[in-house]
Amino acid sequence: MVNWEKVAQPAKAARAALSYEVIATAAIEVADAQGLDAVTMRKVAEHIGAGAMSLYRYVDSRDDLITLMVDRVSAEATAPPPTGDWRADLTAAAHRIRQVTLRHPWLARHALNAEDFGPGTLAMTESTLALLDGHGLDSGEMLDAWRTLLAFVQGHAFAEARRHEARQRRADESETGAPGPSFLDKAAESGEYPLSTRALREAPRPTDPRDAFDRRLGHVLDGLAQAFFERGRR
């Protein structure tokens, strides 16, 4: 388990070349470039130019290293101050989380337990709960609403990043030869999956991925409104 009080201490001069910040930054760079599975103590040490065993003076395991990474990246997703309009506030928070997840898609693959929360994760959580506070929700309801929003945004952004990678891969492959018919093309011709193939082929394809995100985020916010914010009107 990460000792967050120790993480907050300034690096000793003799070890200034290696610190929690240096290690976390290197690990994030490896994950951003090669994915979370590429993050190992040895790989991160090589990225820094240090020996793998030197990292163990700071983190006990790969799990602790990933916890440190997630905490650093979570700080980037701190929500803007509340305006009092919960829907506008959550929309702004959702867009910030989306941008962070698009920069670091591996973030959506790792879920932290409460005991793993560090200062960055707590700052992000506190800032988002502040958007929900004062609207008649108890603590459990605020946490449910927050987790619902976070799960949607991170899942959507992770899928968005994967689709972008797939399009880029297909574009690269098309330069080497004409692609054959896809499985979806063959499935459509077979007639076995009429609803799926029609939905996938006829669904509007926005030129800006943000359009699809905004539309689906609206569905989530409508659900939160009915579940938590409009109870007094029923």
State the CB neighbour count (10 A cutoff) for residue 136.
11
98 contacts: CB under 8 Å, gap ≥ 6: 153, 156, 157, 160, 213
Query: If we measure between CA atoms, which residue out of 132, 130, 160, 162 comes closest to residue 144?
Result: 132
pTM, two decimal places: 0.81
Do residues 149 and 220 make contact, with C-beta atoms less than 8 angstroms apart?
Answer: yes
Cα gap 156→216, rounded to integer Å: 9
What was the pLDDT predicted at 164?
Answer: 73
Span 185-206, mean pLDDT? 75
pLDDT tens per residue, range 23-69? 999 999 999 999 999 999 999 999 999 999 999 999 999 999 999 99
Quickly count helices (H) and strands (E) in the chain: 11, 0
What was the pLDDT predicted at 136?
Answer: 92
pLDDT at 91 over 60: yes
Cα gap 31→59, rounded to integer Å: 17
Span 84-92, mean pLDDT? 96
pLDDT at 234 over 50: no
Q: Which two tokens stand for residue 45?
A: 């040490």
Q: Write phi, then psi, for 104 (nearest 5 degrees).
A: -135, 70
pLDDT above 70 as % of the chain: 87
Evaluate the CA torsion angle 46, 52, 58, 64 in order and state its sign: positive
pLDDT tens per residue, range 125-168? 999 999 999 999 999 999 999 999 999 999 999 999 888 777 77
pLDDT tens per residue, range 186-195? 777 777 778 8
Span 216-229, mean pLDDT? 94
Cα gap 225→161, rounded to integer Å: 28
Query: If we measure between CA atoms, which residue out of 116, 98, 118 comes closest to residue 108?
Result: 98
Q: Which residue has the tokens 């290293």?
A: 65
Q: Which two tokens stand for residue 155?
A: 């899942």
State the CB neighbour count (10 A cutoff) for residue 111.
11
What was the pLDDT predicted at 197?
Answer: 77
